[in-house]
Amino acid sequence: MNEETIRLLLQKIKQQDLSIEEGVERLKILPFEDLGFAKVDYHRNLRQGFAEVIYCAGKTAEQVVAIAEKLSAQGGGNILATRATPEVYAAVLERIPDAEYHSLARTIMIRRGKQEKIGNILVLSAGTSDLPVAEEAAITAEMMGNHVERVYDTGVAGIHRLLSQTEKLRYARVIIVVAGMEGALASVVGGLVDRPVIAVPTSVGYGASFGGLAALLAMLNSCASGVSVVNIDNGFGAGYQASLINHLGEN
Amino acid sequence: MNEETIRLLLQKIKQQDLSIEEGVERLKILPFEDLGFAKVDYHRNLRQGFAEVIYCAGKTAEQVVAIAEKLSAQGGGNILATRATPEVYAAVLERIPDAEYHSLARTIMIRRGKQEKIGNILVLSAGTSDLPVAEEAAITAEMMGNHVERVYDTGVAGIHRLLSQTEKLRYARVIIVVAGMEGALASVVGGLVDRPVIAVPTSVGYGASFGGLAALLAMLNSCASGVSVVNIDNGFGAGYQASLINHLGEN
Amino acid sequence: MNEETIRLLLQKIKQQDLSIEEGVERLKILPFEDLGFAKVDYHRNLRQGFAEVIYCAGKTAEQVVAIAEKLSAQGGGNILATRATPEVYAAVLERIPDAEYHSLARTIMIRRGKQEKIGNILVLSAGTSDLPVAEEAAITAEMMGNHVERVYDTGVAGIHRLLSQTEKLRYARVIIVVAGMEGALASVVGGLVDRPVIAVPTSVGYGASFGGLAALLAMLNSCASGVSVVNIDNGFGAGYQASLINHLGEN
Amino acid sequence: MNEETIRLLLQKIKQQDLSIEEGVERLKILPFEDLGFAKVDYHRNLRQGFAEVIYCAGKTAEQVVAIAEKLSAQGGGNILATRATPEVYAAVLERIPDAEYHSLARTIMIRRGKQEKIGNILVLSAGTSDLPVAEEAAITAEMMGNHVERVYDTGVAGIHRLLSQTEKLRYARVIIVVAGMEGALASVVGGLVDRPVIAVPTSVGYGASFGGLAALLAMLNSCASGVSVVNIDNGFGAGYQASLINHLGEN
Amino acid sequence: MNEETIRLLLQKIKQQDLSIEEGVERLKILPFEDLGFAKVDYHRNLRQGFAEVIYCAGKTAEQVVAIAEKLSAQGGGNILATRATPEVYAAVLERIPDAEYHSLARTIMIRRGKQEKIGNILVLSAGTSDLPVAEEAAITAEMMGNHVERVYDTGVAGIHRLLSQTEKLRYARVIIVVAGMEGALASVVGGLVDRPVIAVPTSVGYGASFGGLAALLAMLNSCASGVSVVNIDNGFGAGYQASLINHLGEN
Amino acid sequence: MNEETIRLLLQKIKQQDLSIEEGVERLKILPFEDLGFAKVDYHRNLRQGFAEVIYCAGKTAEQVVAIAEKLSAQGGGNILATRATPEVYAAVLERIPDAEYHSLARTIMIRRGKQEKIGNILVLSAGTSDLPVAEEAAITAEMMGNHVERVYDTGVAGIHRLLSQTEKLRYARVIIVVAGMEGALASVVGGLVDRPVIAVPTSVGYGASFGGLAALLAMLNSCASGVSVVNIDNGFGAGYQASLINHLGEN
Amino acid sequence: MNEETIRLLLQKIKQQDLSIEEGVERLKILPFEDLGFAKVDYHRNLRQGFAEVIYCAGKTAEQVVAIAEKLSAQGGGNILATRATPEVYAAVLERIPDAEYHSLARTIMIRRGKQEKIGNILVLSAGTSDLPVAEEAAITAEMMGNHVERVYDTGVAGIHRLLSQTEKLRYARVIIVVAGMEGALASVVGGLVDRPVIAVPTSVGYGASFGGLAALLAMLNSCASGVSVVNIDNGFGAGYQASLINHLGEN
Amino acid sequence: MNEETIRLLLQKIKQQDLSIEEGVERLKILPFEDLGFAKVDYHRNLRQGFAEVIYCAGKTAEQVVAIAEKLSAQGGGNILATRATPEVYAAVLERIPDAEYHSLARTIMIRRGKQEKIGNILVLSAGTSDLPVAEEAAITAEMMGNHVERVYDTGVAGIHRLLSQTEKLRYARVIIVVAGMEGALASVVGGLVDRPVIAVPTSVGYGASFGGLAALLAMLNSCASGVSVVNIDNGFGAGYQASLINHLGEN
């Protein structure tokens, strides 16, 4: 639509309905409005299967429902709502009957159209308590068109559980490592593979874990190359980044 | 070579030169030695153009020279030495006359064979003081077989300098953002592109930058999706991770 | 009243009702009581339109009502109560029927007299969750006699939304930037304008935002000149400081 | 010049030397280059007396000289170089003979043209050790066209020294408070005046001052309204912000 | 009683009921039991008016009641229970009908005997929210036999309120300063008097007060001599220390 | 079982049912699965009296019951569940009637078989509030086959209480010191004995204890040799480590 | 001299050389200048033996010499210069030949007049490395007219060394405890005596002592009552506070 | 000697050379002097092969020489000096010709008598830069009579290097793990063995390792049971603790 605005302006110039000076004035303001939509169009319209995302924390159920309905009405790709409470899901469900909910990951999923999935993102988590974050990462990646393999409960204190997953490590294109406490899993995995590892520290732990700080620092100081880190408990961010990486092969 | 060891053992079993029980005993110990080399072979032999890396900090000039000579003698790919002082370079140069040095990035580069480079990694840095880290990232990526585009001095306080680089942002497959102080560049770039962004906080700054902590926290809390972070001043880590990501398209 | 005390003392000296030595003794103690009221008079009586402020956190509803009634009875300017719960508002409303409440900003507003507003303070906020703090800043500035322009939801991950507000940025005399997470908005705005920017970090975020610390550090380390910072979530402080700055032109 | 580019483009459209579609394409790229210069022109050309600033930390003497010469050649306003070592000054002096140096504040000043100064910025500092930061603030403000009053050594442990400066406090339009250790001066001053206070924590102190953190936190938590804070030791930032505020009255 | 044990042992030696070697063995173990009671006797029996203290946090109502009854039965001096909830008080009251409660300070007071009070401890607090801690300090000092003067709401943002209390500052032997937020009051008071100042940081504040850390650091870095600091919110500790100091004059 | 797999493979090689190359391929994958079970068998089957442990935090009652039942059915040694709420215990009790509960330590104990206990682990705690952590340590050690001596309420402010326990200090083989607040007990005990001391900081305290950080740092900086530290509130970890140490004498 | 100013003013009023209104105006400004000197006179003139103090850190040798000469010329009490380098001392010695230097404590002492010393302040230090801070405290107290007893090297890891000093502990009126590492000595001493304890954390230690933070936190969290704390390495502050306390008995 | 003192006292009682009351008085003071020597005798005289240790940091060469000579003259066991510079060693060597020096570990070793060593302590280190700390630990353990096995350069990024050491892990009684950066090695080792693991974080790393904090927190949060931690870079402490543990089996 915005290109249309520029086109109309240029036509008015051409048809001498607008003076050149007026055109210059309008164009000095205009481009700022352009900019963003260019980006939005780019990734929304050109790439199939890309999900819209609603971050529910700090939004009312009404707000989430309104956004979800609007996105749903646009007829685009999948819609994903993260950090959604059961109450928010109940409200969404009333208006969008095919909305699904994953209570552990606290995500609402509204699947739309046929989406081709490419592979293969592996989500590893260290302990049972890391599951909500791991699932948020996994579901995010799935909703954005990726095959996701999950391998949970592979903490470094039982290194054999990790090592027994060699095949899965080998076939993954991108690996998401979710770990709290000392976050050592990221380094061990980073040393085993030549694939990008996205590390997600979790706030799982107590005492000197300081809400995930211990795992965060450990992951940032990983002695293994090929590890980068997202915020504490940011499963969505890891899934999103992994999807961007995984889709690079396509273009 | 290690597969060879297993093969010989199995041949002895087959030829009954070794009892099955003895074979079991040997195999229970053996695999641990296997494991690593499997990985080394994997990425060394199968992938051309992959660089060997020597991290010089905390190593004597003699140690670096010895490692460099050994790697050079193996006749493999490029060799990269990071955090190398001029003294270390001088010592290396005596033994490896074609070793090059980048004084800003403190890297020694020993180029070997014909290496095909694939593209395109973009390295953005916020300020002049961030250049050593940015160059370390760029050189690492180049030595690992990537085309690298550099765009420096694009801090967010002069957002137009960044925005004027739209074309380069559009054509990059992976973007490395190097920034100290408030580290805001990562978020702005992450909002402009749909490509993975690897953010490197630098220790550039003073006062409440607390040696890079301010930039690190800012990058971890980026409101833009698609950003992951490496350690403060870890240009090498960013270049390595970006290369892993960029080479995904090949396989 | 205090000048009166000095005047009476001097008259007694003049009339020889008091020895000079006694006068010296009394004057050595007296001035301390003077000092503050000088200030209070100064800004309360001389400047029209200046609001009285009640900080409700840690005060009972009864205490707030008592203070509000006393201030209201004095017949001065506007009265503003910040961090007020709905319960506190209900209690105030019973006694002061024209008290208004802004539930998001948690402020009670009691408007008094005709107040001339001067312009123009712009309040920018990065995300929806920053609104309570942004509104506290905006309402504070309004109650103190300033025209306030609000531009919300202009986070740096969608830089175009900010850039499309160029006109408003241009016409503002003072700009308040409210942002949580990585707080990058302050730097970007500081780079676009030549006006004083008051940055308010918010506690919006999770994980390594550490209750607003990430945004706070980022804003303190802003690479843009012209940015100063108030405490985390201190919308009132930013509105107050902006008003002081905006009223400088008057004197 | 950039407006010229747009004007020429529109003329080509009008004269049908360029198709509308080609015009749209060009205009989609163009604006990014526009943006910054608009700002540069705005504050450089329209406002007399505005200083160019070179931040010397992390720059070589050669780089500083080159920038200073280029700015000097442009024939604009004053030039200020902060965090300049004596060596840098010596190098500058060889090429710009009228460059002055303030060794305590580590600033180089190159004064150009007749600059009208407006008043009145007051710089208060708590202790002798805070002088370098205080002077950096004062000189910055002077170079940007402000009358600056200095009152040093007024720490809160001798509150009478501060209180004896009532007249100066009263006549200042903006007050910069520079203090290390516990940074209490900002709160006391903020309670005495109805003017904007810019607080600069310094790294002066030892032990639990943690490099200025104690003063920084104290200033951010000031119980006085009207205080905002810049980075530790950031005298320049305070002087710049104070100048922006002080010049508001002009427009 | 323990001296008795030694005496009996020595008598047995003297009477040759015990061999010297056996005596040596017993004495090698014995003294450890001595040590503490020496101290307990010392300050309990010799000094009238000294209070017994029960720290209620982390104790059940039953435990507090049991300890209080036991102490009460001993017929000694006053009994003070700190951090006591209303529930704990209710339980105590059932068994000790003359127990009093101060709800703000959360202390239970059981007054016993005639206690001579000596003077003069001054408790200053910065804001209304600091009252619970200030009262805990004041009541502690009173229960330990000190005259206490309270001056509340004298924050440094209204320095005149403090300065108008000159007489009280002059007559105090020890001063307790209770302040949250930036904790500046301790430095200002320390600069006005030549008496020991015990500073109590409180957790009053928000954002970058970090639960009292800002005030704590400020007080530790006080530029005024003669200030020492106790833990955040530790009103009891300040009252106790002030009482020890105040009673020095007696001995 | 896994040795069996290798044995079968070797037999197939020997019997020429499998080619050598196929054997090599299978063996490259296999060993990872081996590793862990070797360890599990090792310490579960060979050592009698070793307890299985369930960490209940972050697990549902159903999950805990399921694990407990499975372990109980295996007929092995004791089962210990830590951080168990009364609700979890109630659920376990329904299925395992002889399960016991220690409400202070929040542990469930399921005792199985005859377990020989060796001695002697001493658990010292500083204050009443440290008891839950101290009991968790003591119960853990008991369930793992150790005699445990408890000496509680021996804080350093009453050093005589500690010194009167000389005999117990002398007869202990390993000492666990549990202390919050300033954690000084570990250093004093470490100076009195030549036995390994395991120090457990607790989160008991307020203000600048920062959730146990003060005690943790104190213990890490102990001037006494022979002290090592586990995580804040980690009674289980201390008991486990002490048991490992205490059982060394056996082998 | 300032009283003189008031006296002259009152005389002019009395003699009708000055109108009452003019007198009021002058007195509104005047008192601020008064305030400090009142205090200075108070403790300088009335109390013999009180030392003047020069804090040398951040002052040039010339500045220190100038201040020392001026104070020396005034003919008052002792002069103490803290944190003085040997170079500063050499410069002082040239002008004040009887200046003494304590190299460990880095203090310059200029003794003047006959000073009566009262007793008894005890300075305890934990380790040899704490001596510079302990001596700074001891010398400060001595220069201010106190008898000082030193007991060094009594760390808690050898508790017997402390306990063998019972007599000295008993006779001290105030106790200064100087300790780095885990700072436990303050708690142990606080538990042994009923005298005020001033604790000085030192930066002695490594690793997780974080420049004295561990000792500081430990001392603030002391489980013993009667302990207050000064800044890390602030021997002067402790000596000054102890002297204030010790002199209370006199008045 | 001290027992002798008690014995003499008792004999005087028995011989009626001393009254019982005088005996009681003397005994009340005496025991404090006893206490420590009891301990010293205990472990010095009873246990052969125990080393005396001198911590050199913060001591002059002269002080170290004096202590070493005194200890050497006593004719006891080995003497170990840690954190010794080459200069200190040179000074010691002049007086004690058989003193040895380990420059990497910065330790001086003076071997005395025949010492029986018991085994087996394993020292594992993650990287080359961790060697100084690892060697300090190893040498400490050796000097205290333990067989020490060293396995260096087994960081978790190359997990196979660790796993290939299974036999050594199996035969160790105590394991010391020395690691900087993310410190993950402690958790992996803790998961592989059923032996006590003493973890030593090192300050090796940069950026967000914050001087060893990252490794320290990771080790404290280890998901493996059986791991306890000593201070950053405290190789001596780990070696000492490991020796205490290893010698438990003897008694």
Query: Tens-of-pLDDT digits for all 251 residues of chain B?
Result: 356 667 888 899 888 888 888 887 777 544 433 333 233 333 333 333 456 888 898 788 988 898 888 888 766 678 999 999 999 999 999 999 999 999 999 999 999 877 788 889 999 998 888 999 999 999 999 999 999 999 988 888 878 778 777 778 878 999 999 999 989 999 999 988 889 999 999 998 889 999 999 999 999 999 888 999 999 999 999 999 999 999 886 54
Q: Which of F129, F163, F166 sits opposite E58 (nearest CB)?
A: F129
Q: Do B241 and A228 touch (CB under 8 A)?
A: yes
Please judge whether H223 and A155 are an interchain contact, meaning their C-beta atoms are less than 8 angstroms apart. Answer: yes
Residues F186, F226 contacting (CB under 8 angstroms): no
As for the ipTM of the complex, it is 0.82
CB C238 within 8 A of CB C214: no
**Rounded CA separation E251/C30 (Å):** 37
Shortest CA distance from G182: residue in chain H? H231
Other chains touching C, judged by 3 or more CB pairs under 8 Å:
A, B, D, E, G
Q: What CA–CA distance (Å, rounded) separates F215 from F208?
A: 10
What digits encode the pLDDT tens for the residues C148-168?
999 988 888 878 778 777 778
> Alpha-carbon distance B64 to B50, whole Å?
19
pLDDT of residue H3: 65
Widest distance between CA atoms in chain A: 77
Distance from C-alpha of H54 to C-alpha of D147, rounded to nearest angstrom = 62
How far is the alpha carbon of F159 from chain E, nearest alpha carbon, in Å?
A: 7
Which of C205-214, E159-168, F96-105, G230-239 has the least mean pLDDT?
Answer: E159-168
F205-235 pLDDT tens trace? 889 999 999 999 999 999 888 999 999 999 9
Chain C segment 122-181 residues within 8 A of G by beta carbon are: none
- Could you report the per-residue pLDDT of F30-47, keeping only the tens digit for each? 443 333 323 333 333 333
Q: pLDDT band at A251, cuts 50/70/90?
A: very low
Can you give the pLDDT at residue E30? 47
Cis status of the peptide bond prior to A120, with omega within 30 of 0 = yes
In this structure, what token pair is assigned to residue E205?
A: 């504040």
Spell out which residues of chain D touch residue E127, defining contact as CB-CB under 8 Å: 223
The answer to whether the CB atoms of D182 and E181 lie below 8 A apart is no
Contacts of C156 in chain B (CB under 8 A): 156, 184, 187-188, 191, 223-224
Q: In this complex, do C36 and E161 lie within 8 Å of one another by their Cβ atoms? A: yes
Residues D192-248 pLDDT 10s: 888 999 999 999 888 999 999 999 999 999 988 899 999 999 999 999 999 999 988
E182, E208, E213 ranked by CB distance to D184: nearest:
E182
Instruction: Write out chain B residues lying below 8 Å of C188, CB-based.
Output: 156-157, 159, 184, 188
Residue type, E161: R
Q: Is the pLDDT of residue A33 over 60?
A: no
Q: What is the pLDDT of residues D132-145, one digit of tens each?
A: 999 999 999 999 99
At residue C92, the pLDDT reads 96
The pLDDT of residue B84 is 96
**Nearest residue on chain H to G181, judged by CA atoms?**
H231
Q: Does H39 touch chain G (CB under 8 A)?
A: yes
Report the phi/psi class of residue D196: left, alpha or beta, with left for phi > 0 and alpha for psi in -120 to 50: beta
pLDDT reading at G227 higher than 90:
yes
Q: How far apart are CA H133 and CA H119, in angstroms?
A: 21
pLDDT at B90: 97
Instruction: State pLDDT tens for residues A173-222.
Output: 999 999 999 899 999 999 888 899 999 999 988 899 999 999 999 999 99
Cβ–Cβ < 8 Å for D243, D137? no
Instruction: Report the C-alpha gap between C194 and C65 in whole angstroms.
Output: 42
Backbone φ, ψ for residue F229 (5° rounding) = -130, 145
Cross-chain residue pair B231–A221, CB shorter than 8 Å? yes
Please indicate if any CB of chain H lies within 8 Å of the CB of F238.
Answer: yes
- Rounded Cα distance, D85 and D105, in Å: 10
Q: Which residue has the higher pLDDT, B248 or C46?
A: B248
Q: List the one residue out of B98, E182, C28, E113 whose CA is nearest residue D156.
A: E182
Average of per-residue pLDDT across G79-99:
95
Rounded distance between C-alpha atoms, residue A37 and residue A48, angstroms: 17
Instruction: Answer whether G40 touches F (CB < 8 Å).
Output: no
Burial of A63 (0-12, 13-18, 19+ CB in 10 A): middle
**Residue segments in chain D with a per-residue pLDDT below the cut of 70:** 1-5, 28-51, 74-76, 249-251
d(CA F228, CA H200): 10
**Interface mutation vs chain B, best among H130, H133, H164, H178, most B CBs within 10 Å:** H164
Q: Which residue ranges make up each domain of chain D?
A: 3-110, 118-246
With contact defined as 3+ CB pairs under 8 Å, the chains touching B are A, C, D, F, H
| Chain CA centroid to CA E43, Å | 14
- Whole-number Å distance between alpha carbons of H221 and H228: 10
Alpha-carbon distance of C177 to C222, in angstroms, equals 12
Q: Does B54 touch chain A (CB under 8 A)?
A: no
3-state secondary structure of D102: strand
pLDDT computed for residue A39 by the predictor = 32
Query: Chains meeting F at 3+ CB pairs closer than 8 A?
Result: A, B, E, G, H
Q: Do B160 and D216 touch (CB under 8 A)?
A: no
What pLDDT score was predicted for residue B3? 65
Provide the token pair at D8.
Answer: 């020429």
d(CA E187, CA E184): 6
**Dist. CA A184–CA A198, nearest whole Å:** 13
Residue C236: pLDDT band (50, 70, 90) is very high
pLDDT at A156 over 50: yes
Q: How far apart are CA F50 and CA A244, in angstroms?
A: 48
Distance from C-alpha of A241 to C-alpha of E243, rounded to nearest angstrom: 62
Rounded to whole angstroms, how far apart are CA atoms F183 and F161? Answer: 16
Is the CB of G40 inside 8 Å of chain C's CB atoms?
Answer: no
Looking up tokens 């908005």, which residue turns up? C185
Mean pLDDT by 10 residues, chain H (251 residues): 70 89 69 34 36 84 87 79 96 95 94 82 91 96 94 82 78 94 92 91 92 95 92 96 86 47
Q: Residue C39 and residue E204: Cβ atoms within 8 Å?
A: no
User: pLDDT-derived band of residue C50, with 50, 70 and 90 as boundaries?
Assistant: low
Contact assignment for C187 to B156 by CB distance below 8 Å: yes
Q: Could you report the per-residue pLDDT of G40-54, keeping only the tens digit for each?
A: 333 333 333 456 888
Do residues F244 and H245 make contact, with C-beta atoms less than 8 angstroms apart? no
Of E29, E37, E233, nearest to F167 by CB-CB distance is E29
Which chains neighbour D (Cβ–Cβ under 8 Å, 3 or more pairs)? A, B, C, E, G
* E228·G228 Cβ contact <8 A: yes
The residue type found at B180 is G
Give the pLDDT band (50/70/90) at residue E45: very low
What pLDDT does residue C43 have? 31
Contacts E57 to F, Cβ<8 Å = 129, 206
pLDDT band at A129 (very low <50, low <70, confident <90, very high): confident
Which CATH number describes the domain made up of F118-246?
3.40.50.1970
The structure tokens listed for B180 are 């100290």
User: Quick one: average pLDDT of E197-223?
Assistant: 93
Q: Is pLDDT above 60 for C37?
A: no
The answer to whether H43 contacts F194, with C-beta atoms less than 8 Å apart, is: yes
Has residue A161 got a pLDDT over 50? yes
Q: Give me the mean pLDDT over the G181-191 stretch.
A: 91
Average pLDDT of the residues in G134-138: 97
CB-CB contact of G226 with G196 (8 Å): yes
Mean pLDDT of G189-207: 92
F117 has pLDDT over 60: yes
pLDDT of residue F28: 58
β-strands E118-125, E174-179: how paired? parallel
Residues C229 and D238: beta-carbon distance below 8 Å = no
Tell me the C-alpha distance between A9 and F215, whole Å: 71
Out of A237-241, E98-102, F161-165, G196-200, which region has the weakest mean confidence (pLDDT)? F161-165
Q: What is the pLDDT of residue F166?
A: 73
Q: E232 and F204: CB-CB below 8 Å?
A: no
Q: What's the pLDDT score for residue B10?
A: 87
